[in-house]
Structure 1
Amino acid sequence: MRAVVIGGGIVGLTSGLALRRAGVDVVVHEHAPEIRAAGAGLGLWANALAVFDELGIGDQVRAIGKPSEMYFHDPAGRLLETPGFDADDHRYLLVHRAKLTDLLADAVGRERIRLATGFQAYDEHDDHVTVRLTDGTSEDADVLVGADGAYSAVRAQLVPGSAAQEHPGHHAWRAVIPATGTAVRENRLILGHDRCRGGYVRTYDGNVYWLLNQFDSPPLTGTRKQQALERVVHLQEGGRDTLLADLIAATPEEQILHNQIMVVPPLPHWVSARVVLAGDAAHAMSPHITAGATLGIEDAALLSGLLTTTDDVPAALAAYEATQIPRYAHVARLSAAVEHARTPQEFARHYVAFSHWMITQQPQRPGKHPVRA
């Protein structure tokens, strides 16, 4: 079997690696001239780490990450309790996105990655798909995997009219900076007022990752740093915990990343006979559930497992879609419950309910069983 993967991000590279380890002849095409990752830190939950263990790189991933816990505090510094859930439901690994991308590219094999070759179009045939690329070349394959993110060009052809949409008023700011001049003795995630949340966590290499986001934000004014500082006051109460404000103030303007959050609307289908979507190309959602990478890694593992246990590619893709579309409808409902929580206490409870479900209710793969860390 031969597979063409579009997209050299985490999900595309994981898809390439999973297929390659299963004996598939795979090539990954990336439109950029180099493998690079936009963003700062990301969280990997137990189900993503189980996939990486199966692919033989779990220890390497853990070596570039820092074990962390997703507990929340209110602006007064009080821990928001979540009775009924245990420590496993809060644990994740914080990794630097660029370091993980480089690790995956090395594991796939750089010789299997074609840079500066973006996707242009595909032509499906009864027994193969022809993938046309922006450099004028083309590839024939048994299957085309579109893992090219929220702005997926593959999705644009497979599901016309499905362009990514703004999540109205939802903005995020973040950065990774050296932990110099400011003592960060513990991780802290804060659920504040005016629909703001944020916090800071220590990374494995001694740096600090801070983040801040707001739902229903008023129109933005000023620089990125000014925007973040304007909102950080909603995470403080009674003069407590000004560390996040100090970290933002200490961050050079050019290192602060800002995003208008974009989402992909629910799709009527994810596959055709020879084309399939994975990761954000299929289901980009709001990052407030901090699970986009983990869920996309699950997509890659399930897809690989189905494709490599049958010679019937259309049947494998149909099984993938039949599993994942209902799963992500449920993910969307759980995500909405977190987003629309009326109080910090409700947010914390809905969040841990989501993480518990995600870890314990993994899609069943051929020959595999869900793993609980």
Structure 2
Amino acid sequence: MYRLKVVVIGAGIGGLTAAIALSQSGYEVEVYERTQELRPRGAGISLWSNGVKVMNRFGLGEKIAAIGGQMNHMQYLGIHGEVMNQIHLQPLIEEVGQRPYPVARADLQAMLLEAFPGEVNLGYRCISVEEHGDRVTATFENGHQATGDLVIAADGVRSTLREYVLEREVQPTYRDYVNWNGLVEADEAITPPNTWTIYVGNHQRASMMPVGGNRLYFFFDVPLPLGTSAPPELIRSELVEHFKGWAEPVQTLIQRIDPEKTNRLEISDVGPVDRMVRGRVALLGDAAHATCPDLGQGGCQALEDVYMLNHFLVTTNISVEDALKRYEKARKDRTSSIVEKARSRAEMIHGKDPELTAQWYDQLRTESPTAVTSAIAKTILTGPLH
């Protein structure tokens, strides 16, 4: 019996999960990654319930729970530590039917690598694809070629295959703020146990979220022009300057970070794009719809992509092209909406219109906790896993 062969470009969260799902469906899967070493972009990720449900579907639920943090509460605080809002997350969990799990990206990637039955080919930078009849060939910079029935381009925000699918160049767009992120040991001096704490003010944020291994995933956001930079040895002093006068837990966190292991990212997004598929090549995850991280839905949308792509491949027998078109139809509007919603939220949080940001601060102080959880639930439940 003929086994469909899938060539996956990219070994991030989306690419590896796609490889696991499609292997479980009985397909032959080859994975190629351009880097020589798998190093996640960013230290942590908030896997909300829609993303966790995809993991559950492919038998990875217990493993996610083992590496994820227990997040039972959220709290918004002002720059001096004054409480703006406190939110219990159990109503959200009950409404959507699944607990979220913030995880360290390196732990998640290691778990996915272990779950994938095949080998990831490192140091293979895909430079082009070519379709010929019912086959498609990916060509790599080192001269290697991989031919299959379809190619999944899960090669990230700076995808080399996006131009092939869209038939035009689409570059990431800088969204006017810098994000510093990393991991520190959990400590009540920084945030209470099992609590996601977000300090907001001056169009900036300082956030601490529990992940597995008794650690916190932290990030800082500051609106800055494109092109600013700082070597690791200056990152701590840079944060001290930006967050001067903020509450003591923020100062403690800044002193606890390891500058050598702190990422400094200029935040960009991609899209919305007008297509996700061309022939036998499908974009997946950030290659199609990189989002600002302000909704916590970037990784979750890649996982939803995997779920729907696998679904149509195993349930549609007209042709591979037909299955991919159904995948595109099911995902394009959903992912475009998330890109736009995350962008709008990023602009609101980071002071693109200072009056709107001030209104958001006022809203945080008066909004009922159930209104917050209902808004999160709506984003989760609008996707394919209800």
Secondary structure of the corresponding residue to residue 32 of structure 1: coil
Task: Find the counterpart in structure 2 of residue 317 from structure 1.
Answer: 324
Partner of 1:304: 310
Counterparts of 1:200-349 in structure 2 under 5 Å? 200-215=208-223, 220=228, 223-233=234-244, 236=246, 241-311=247-317, 312-339=319-346, 340=348, 341-342=356-357, 343-346=360-363
Match of 2:113 in 1: 105
Aligned-residue Cα RMSD (Å) equals 2.7
* Residue 77 in structure 1 maps to residue 64 in structure 2: no
Cα deviation code 1:278-320 (max 9, x no counterpart): 1000000111111211111111111111112223111111111
For the 8 Å contact 2:291–2:298, the answer to whether it is kept is yes
Deviation at 1:71, TM superposition (A): 2.3
Distance 2:222 2:72 in 1: 21
Deviations 1:315-360 (A, max 9, x none): 1111111121111232234324433253225469697555212321
CA pair 218-326 structure 1, distance change in 2 beyond 3 A: closer
Match in the other structure for 1:172? 179
Determine if contact 2:236/2:255 at 8 Å carries over to the other structure.
yes
Q: Distance in 2 between matches of 1:144 and 1:218?
A: 34
Contact 1:191–1:344 (Cα < 8 Å) also in 2: no
Does the aligned pair in 2 maintain the 1:119–1:134 contact within 8 Å? yes
Which of 50, 71, 78 aligns to 1:68? It is 71
Is the Cα contact below 8 Å between 1:71 and 1:79 reproduced in 2? no
Q: Share of identical aligned residues, percent?
A: 24
Correspondent of 2:381 among 355, 360, 372? 360
State the TM-score, normalized to the length of structure 1.
Answer: 0.87
Residues of 1 paired with 2:313 and 2:45: CA distance? 28
Q: Is the 8 A contact 2:157 2:270 kept in 1?
A: yes
Structure-2 residue corresponding to 1:162: 170
The answer to which of 5-14 and 63-72 deviates more is 63-72
SS at match of 1:71: strand
Q: Is the 8 A contact 1:35 1:102 kept in 2?
A: no
* Preserved contact between residue 74 and residue 344 of structure 1 (Cα < 8 Å): no
Q: 1 CA distance for matches of 2:244 and 2:196?
A: 15
Give the Cα separation in 2 of the matches to 1:70 and 1:264. Answer: 31
1:75-154 aligned at under 5 Å gives the runs 75=78, 76-80=81-85, 86-88=91-93, 92-109=100-117, 111-154=118-161
Task: Map Cα deviations across residues 207-232 of structure 1 (whole Å, 9 max, x no partner).
Answer: 22221112456985762222222232
Work out whether 1:23 is the aligned partner of 2:26: yes
| 1:215-271 CA distance string (max 9 Å, x none) | 45698576222222223247x3xxxx4112211122232122110001113212111
Preserved CA contact (<8 Å) 2:198 2:208:
no
The code of the aligned residue for 1:46 comes to: S
Aligned mates of 1:347, 1:146 — CA distance in 2: 39
1:229 and 1:286 mapped to 2: Cα distance?
24
Contact 2:190 2:250 in 1 (8 A): no
Q: 1:104 offset after TM fit, Å? A: 0.5
Secondary structure of 2:76's aligned partner: coil
Output the CA distance in 2 between the equivalents of 1:201 and 1:254: 20
1:182 deviation in Å?
Answer: 5.1
SS of 1:120's equivalent in the other structure is strand
Change in 2 beyond 3 A, CA 1:136/1:70: farther
Supply the distance in 1 between the matched residues of 2:73 and 2:340 (Cα, whole angstroms): 20
Q: CA deviation at 1:119?
A: 0.6
- CA displacement at 1:152 relative to structure 2: 0.5
Unmatched runs of 5 consecutive residues or more in structure 1? 364-369
1:367 aligned residue: none
Q: Which AA in structure 1 matches 2:296?
A: T
Residue pair 1:128, 1:142 contacting (<8 A) in 2 also: yes
Q: Cα 1:92–1:258, aligned 2, differ >3 Å: closer, same or farther? A: same
8 Å Cα contact 1:5/1:26 also seen in 2: yes
Report the Cα distance in structure 2 between the residues aligned to 1:201 and 1:303, rounded to whole angstroms.
31
